[in-house]
Structure 1
């Protein structure tokens, strides 16, 4: 099969098309013939050498796919050959075939295309794990979402609205602001033109955000403390601006704030199975009745994964990027 390997650590040029053997599903796994594979921030971090895969995971990049089940391993009853699915993989999604634990596989939503469906697993599993389960997303919560026009950001916006909460997104351009509002944001703050702390406080009558979803860190860390409501919860999901920050611990103390960090990939199979079950109950019906909508998508052929990464790292990027296999083109 064709797959994409990471040849050393560095820029997009280290992503190398290779010919390799199809994987064989172990007990409890399914083999998926990949139609499309989503591109995500953790893939870029892995390529740069900053996010090593777990020891038992594939060293190939790619954490989410859509496709058709080709083979099931032993002890798999929920799926069979020919089933249309989406899957959160443990790596190896940038390929024509990939294995995934059956508990991380869900039926492909009928109303979404193969390309649209490939954008679901990584971001929705992450937001279920963090915003919903860990931070207690509810109808009375105001959520400040940094990177509000990206894949993770728009998923957080849509989940916030699905639960009845208020979503405030930060973005870098008016075009991205319009997109965030289109995806359901109640307000969009262009951080190049407005201070997101002052604007968040103004939008919440001085209270601040109950939950903050942050992928930036660096200079944002202390500002998030100022923008948070008393008893607020800050979810640190990435550190694009750097891991080191100087913060005012007094704000954490006096506001009784919670700061939690989390990455999805090292979570146990049991945890990921639980997230999948929750998504099937909550999100799949919302997709069917169009309360959850597909993001803006750009596509690239699987062999052009390096170009896809360049596009994702460009300043004008927003929405999701998806790699399409020859099989996916034929569907």
Structure 2
């Protein structure tokens, strides 16, 4: 089969389209999927440039998100049969088990039936960001309807679904964006207020919009200085959740003085630590989100879809940091 293979760390140019062996079912509980689309996420570019999670991970096929059609099932598979359309988040952390490819073999337990109302492109764009946003908002921050949420980079992959999930929960949503075009986009998703962070300091704007109280919950999808400044935008006894490593330069004094609950979300942990119950919980999240998508209360925005042989361009676009929504590769 054709797949995008990474044989060393480095820039986007280390990705090359190659012919490799098609994976085959080796366990009675596995399904083989013909991949129709694969989501591209910022974590893919970090793994490519900084190194893989798994020690002897190269050569590697990246891509955690996939959507496609089941073409074969193991003898003990009960939930799926050939022809079923599925979506999932699995693989892409090292070795040849990733989704920038034509086929994947995965465990039945991590697979979920695709929402019927969307195509494979939109389905493939969604799993990692949906699970990330859900776990951050409801698992870490315990978001409820009486709270005000600040989402950083609300037009991005995680941000644009976090806005919608929070509005479904009844929260008030503030978000930061870089352009007026993105301001209009997040408004269409239901954001109550958007802050052009390049024109105005977001901390002052958040304090003005909350009457000096600060946001009850802050979701940091950017890291670095944004995380550090977010401490001052979070209300006393509030929750500050980040998807990134804050680094060693954070002065935690103000966070302590505000009695903040600081949380971390890495939705890949169940894969990395082999936690079956946590993975089952993530599949349940996808199932709930599929119902929301099919009901029209949740939508996935795809900025562009590219052929598999343009994976280099896809990584370049992600690293430019101007993406709105998601980017997808099509085998």
Question: What is the TM-score when the length of structure 2 is the normalising length?
Answer: 0.91
Given that residues 206 and 214 in structure 2 are in contact (C-alpha distance below 8 angstroms), is that contact kept between their aligned partners in structure 1?
yes
Q: Map 1:168-207 onto structure 2 (within 5 A).
A: 168-207=174-213
Secondary structure (helix, strand or coil) at the match of 1:177 reads: helix
Matched, 1:121 2:124: no
Cα distance in 2 between the residues matched to 1:76 and 1:232: 44
**1:54-73 correspondence to structure 2 within 5 Å:** 59-73=60-74
How far apart are the structure 2 equivalents of 1:178 and 1:196? 18
Matches within 5 A, 1:145-164: 145-164=151-170
1:219 corresponds in structure 2 to 225
* Number of the residue aligned with 1:243: 247
Q: Deviations over 1:249-269 (max 9, x none)?
A: 332222210112232223123
Q: Give the structure 1 partner of residue 53 of structure 2.
A: 52
1:234 to 240, 243, 246: 240
> In 2, distance between residues paired with 1:214 and 1:54?
29
> Does the 8 Å CA contact 1:58/1:90 hold for their aligned counterparts?
no
Deviation (angstroms), 1:182: 1.6
TM-score (norm 1): 0.91
Give the Cα–Cα distance (whole angstroms) in 1 for the partners of residues 299 and 54 of structure 2: 30
Q: CA deviation at 1:243?
A: 2.9
State the 1:191 CA deviation: 0.7
In the other structure, the counterpart of 2:278 is 271
Give distance in 1, aligned partners of 2:153 and 2:106: 29
How many equivalent residue pairs?
321
Aligned pair 1:138/2:140, yes or no?
A: no
Aligned-partner Cα distance in 1 for 2:115–2:86: 8
How far apart, CA to CA, are the structure 2 residues paired with 1:2 and 1:122? 23
Unaligned stretches of 5+ in structure 2?
Answer: 93-97
CA shift for structure 1 position 315: 4.5
Describe the superposition over 1:257-304 as per-residue Cα deviations: whole angstroms up to 9, x where unpaired: 011223222312321211221332x32222122110121330100111
Q: Is the 1:218–1:243 Cα contact (8 Å) retained in structure 2?
A: yes
Secondary structure class of the residue paired with 2:312:
helix
CA–CA separation in structure 2 for the residues paired with 1:55 and 1:104: 24
Q: CA deviation at 1:157?
A: 0.8
Instruction: State which drifts further: 61-70 or 3-12.
Output: 3-12
Displacement of 1:34: 0.3
Shift of 1:106: 1.3
Contact 1:88 1:100 in 2 (8 A): no
Partner of 2:95: none
**1:99 alignment partner in structure 2:** 105
